[in-house]
C-alpha cells in the first residue's frame, strides 16, 4: 500500500507464485533479483564531493577522482535511514564541467551525486520478503529510474526530460538534465485514489468505481452534453443506475491534475523546474497513463510537450504495456550488469533468462545509476 508492504505473508505468496511462473516460462532457475524501490519513505539529497589535485604539476589522476567521489558519498544519514542509490552527476574542474577529468590540469576537482535513501524498516521488509523465497537481492533501484532507463534514449536524457510513473498507490518521477538524474520524488497518490474519489462522489463501492474509471475515465474533461449519461455498472442490471458523464470526468480530472501540480510544485521548490532545460518534455508511464486525455492534461499543467512513454523492444503485446515499464527497466539494468560480467567470463544466467523472455533486447544497455 503506497509502496509499503503491509502483509508479508500475502506478499510472500505472490512473490513465490511469480517466481515459479517466471522460471517455468523461461526454463531457467532464478537465483538473484533486482528489487524496485518506491514509496513516500524515499528521499533524495544532492551532495558535492571535492578533491584538491594532489600532483605538483596539477594533472588530475584516478586517485583524485576517487577522492572526490568518496567525499560526495560520505555524508551521514539520520538514524533509521539507509542509502539505496548514489547517482553520479558531471565532474567539474575549477568550476568548469567536464566529461572526463583524468589527465586534465586544475586545482580543484568536484563531482555531484544525487543520493537516494529510505527507511530501514521498509527496505528490510522487502529484503526479507525476497530472501524468504529464498533468493538473493543483487541490487535495489528506485522505480522511476528503472522506468526512465527503458523509456529514454541517451539523447533524450541529455536534452532534459521528466518521467512520471503513475502506479496504483504512488506516483514516482525522475528529472534528467544534461543526461544525468538530478532529482527523484514520490507522490503518495496514484490510480487507486481516482477509484476512491469516484466511489465517494458517486456513492458506490470501490470495485464498481474502478470499473467505471477504466470504461469512462477521461483525464481532461471533454466537451460533452451535460445531459449525457452512462450506466454505473455497465450492464443495466437491477441496481444499476445512470450517472452524468461530466460528473465522472470532473472527478477524474481533479485528482490527476492534483498529482501533476504536486510534482510541478516540488520541482519549483527545488528550483529545478525549467522548461527550457527539458526539451524532451514529459513522458508518462504506469497503468494510469493509459487513461484517455492524460497526456493533454499533463501538457497543460507543465506547459510543455508530453507523451505516453514507449520503448523499442519487440515483445509480446501483453507485456508491452506502460504498467510494466519499471519491470522492464529492472531487466535492462540487470542485463547491462550481466553483459559486464560476461566480459569477465562469469556466469550468464541472467542474460539467458532475460533473452528467453525478450529475445530482441539490445545487447548493451547503459545504466542510469
Residue 163 lies inside a defined structural domain of this protein: no
Retrieve residue 356's grid coordinates. Answer: 528467453
* Residue 325 domain-assigned (yes or no): no
Q: Is 160 inside any structural domain?
A: no
Q: For the chain, 369 residues long, give each residue's pLDDT as a single digit of tens.
A: 666 677 778 888 888 888 888 888 888 888 888 999 999 999 999 999 999 998 889 999 999 999 999 999 887 889 999 999 999 999 999 999 999 999 999 999 999 999 999 999 999 998 888 888 888 899 999 999 999 999 999 999 999 999 999 999 999 999 999 999 999 999 999 999 999 999 999 999 999 888 888 888 888 876 666 778 888 876 667 667 888 888 899 999 999 999 999 999 999 999 999 999 999 999 999 999 999 999 999 999 999 999 999 886 777 777 788 999 999 999 888 887 655 554 554 444 444 444 454 444 443 333 343
Q: Which residue has 535513501 as its cell numbers?
A: 117
- pLDDT digit string, tens, across residues 325-337: 999 999 888 887 6
Does any domain span residue 52?
yes
Look-up: residue for cell 460528473? 247
* Structural domain contains residue 70: yes
Is residue 68 situated within a structural domain? yes
Q: Which helix (H) or strand (E) holds 132?
A: none
Helices first, then strands: H and E counts in the chain: 11, 13
Is there a contact between 87 and 369 (Cβ–Cβ < 8 Å)?
A: yes
- pLDDT tens for 192-228 read 999 999 999 999 999 988 888 888 888 887 666 677 8
Instruction: Look at residue 271 and tell me if it is in a domain.
Output: no
The verdict on residue 165 lying in a domain is: no
Residue-range definition of the domain harbouring residue 99: 47-114
Domain count, the chain: 1
Distance (Å, whole) CA 356 – CA 194: 37
pTM: 0.85
Amino acid at each position: 500500500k503506497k509502496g509499503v508492504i503491509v502483509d508479508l505473508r500475502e506478499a510472500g505468496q505472490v512473490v513465490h507464485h511469480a517466481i515459479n511462473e517466471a522460471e517455468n516460462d523461461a526454463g531457467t532457475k532464478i537465483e538473484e533479483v533486482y528489487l524496485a524501490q518506491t514509496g513516500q519513505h524515499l528521499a533524495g539529497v544532492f551532495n558535492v564531493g571535492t578533491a584538491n589535485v594532489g600532483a605538483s604539476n596539477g594533472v588530475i589522476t584516478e586517485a583524485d577522482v576517487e577522492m572526490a567521489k568518496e567525499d560526495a558519498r560520505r555524508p551521514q544519514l539520520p538514524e533509521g535511514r539507509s542509502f539505496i542509490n548514489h547517482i553520479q552527476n558531471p565532474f567539474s574542474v575549477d568550476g568548469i564541467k567536464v566529461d572526463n577529468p583524468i589527465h586534465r590540469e586544475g586545482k580543484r576537482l568536484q563531482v555531484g551525486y544525487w543520493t537516494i535513501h529510505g527507511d530501514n524498516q521498509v527496505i528490510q521488509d522487502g529484503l526479507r520478503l525476497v530472501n524468504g523465497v529464498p533468493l538473493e537481492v543483487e541490487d535495489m533501484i528506485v522505480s522511476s529510474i528503472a522506468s526512465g532507463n527503458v523509456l529514454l534514449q541517451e539523447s533524450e536524457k541529455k536534452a532534459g526530460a521528466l518521467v512520471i510513473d503513475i502506479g496504483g498507490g504512488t506516483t514516482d518521477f525522475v528529472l534528467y538534465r544534461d543526461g544525468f538524474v538530478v532529482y527523484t520524488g514520490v507522490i503518495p497518490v496514484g490510480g487507486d485514489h481516482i477509484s476512491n474519489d469516484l466511489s465517494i462522489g458517486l456513492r458506490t463501492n470501490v470495485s464498481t468505481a474502478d470499473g467505471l474509471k477504466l470504461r469512462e475515465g477521461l483525464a481532461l474533461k471533454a466537451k460533452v452534453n451535460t445531459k449525457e449519461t452512462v450506466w454505473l455498472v455497465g450492464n443495466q442490471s437491477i441496481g444499476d443506475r445512470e450517472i452524468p458523464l461530466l460528473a465522472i470526468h470532473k472527478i477524474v480530472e481533479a485528482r490527476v491534475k492534483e498529482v501533476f501540480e504536486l510534482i510541478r510544485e516540488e520541482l519549483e521548490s527545488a528550483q529545478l523546474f525549467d522548461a527550457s532545460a527539458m526539451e524532451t518534455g514529459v513522458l508518462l508511464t504506469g497503468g494510469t497513463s493509459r487513461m484517455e486525455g492524460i497526456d493533454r492534461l499533463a501538457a497543460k499543467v507543465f506547459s510543455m510537450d508530453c507523451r505516453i512513454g514507449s520503448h523499442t523492444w519487440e515483445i509480446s503485446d501483453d507485456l508491452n504495456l506502460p504498467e510494466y515499464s519499471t519491470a522492464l527497466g529492472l531487466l535492462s539494468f540487470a542485463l547491462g550488469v550481466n553483459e559486464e560480467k560476461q566480459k569477465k567470463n562469469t556466469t550468464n544466467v541472467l542474460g539467458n533468462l532475460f533473452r528467453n523472455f525478450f529475445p530482441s533486447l539490445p545487447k548493451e544497455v547503459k545504466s542510469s545509476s
